[in-house]
Amino acid sequence: MTYRLTPGRPGGPADMRASRELIRILAAELPRVRETAAAWRNSLAGLLVALVGFSLIKGRSDVGDLRPSWGAAVGFLLLAALIAGAAGALLLIRAASGRPSAIPARALHSRSVADHVEAMDAAAALQHGIIMTLGCAALLVAAVGVTWYGPGRAGPLLQITTPTATVCGSAVSVSDGRLEIQTAAGLVTQDLAAASAVQAVASCAAPAQ
C-alpha cells in the first residue's frame, strides 16, 4: 500500500491564535511550577517547625522510661522521619530551584522544549517531595504516639524473705506496714514486720518445682 502526502489546509487566524496561546502557556509553565514549589516548600517547612520546634505534640520526655523494645521502635520511627524529611526537603528544593547540573551540548533542545521538560521534572519532584514531607510529619506523630501509649519500663523488683517463705515481684502499694506485691503467681500482701530481709533484685528466680 502506498501513502501519498498532500499539503494541509493553509493556516488561518484561529491557528495563529492557538499557536500564540500554546507558546504563552509553555513560557509560563516553568515559572508557575517553580512558584508553586516554593509555596509548598515554605508551608511544609512551617508545619515541621511547628511540630518539632514549638512542641505542639509531646510525649514522654525520656524515651528511657519505655520498655527497651518500644524505645527501639521510637528510635526507628525517628530515623525514618529524618530520612523522609531530608528526602522531601531535597525534592522540594529541586522543584523550586532546579537541578544543580549542566546539560550536555548534544542534548540541548529549543527553549520551549527544554522549559517544558524541566517543568515536568519539577512537577514530579514537587509531588514526591510533598509525599515525603507529609510522611515525615506522620512518622513524627507516630513516634510521639508510641511514647504516649507504649508500656513503661518495669519498676524495680523486690525480694522479701520471711521465716516461712520468700516472695519476689514488683511493689504495687504500701499501707499500714503491709506491702502489696505483684508476683508471677498473682497479687500477694506481705506484712513487712514479719520480713527478715527486703532487697532489690534484677530478676526473680523461678519457683522451685
Sequential DSSP letters for 37-65: HHHHHHHHHHHHHHHHTS-SS---S-GGG
pTM of the model: 0.62
Q: What is the dihedral of CA 97, 101, 107, 112, to 10 degrees?
A: 10
* pLDDT attached to residue 209: 47
* pLDDT attached to residue 101: 64
Per run of 10 residues, the mean pLDDT along the chain (length 209 residues) is: 73 71 74 89 84 58 73 89 91 85 62 80 91 91 83 73 83 80 80 82 67
All structural domains of the chain with their residue ranges = 15-99+109-149, 157-201
Task: Name the grid cell of 168.
Answer: 519476689
Q: Is the dihedral of CA 76, 132, 114, 38 positive or negative?
A: negative
CATH number (2.30.30, 2.60.40, 2.60.120, 1.10.3470) of 157-201 reads 2.30.30
* pLDDT attached to residue 50: 77
- CA 57-133-84 angle, to 5 degrees, is 95
Report the C-alpha gap between 170 and 193 in whole angstroms: 18
Strand arrangement, sheet containing 178-183: 186-191, 178-183, 166-175, 157-161, 197-201
The SS3 assignment for 73 reads helix
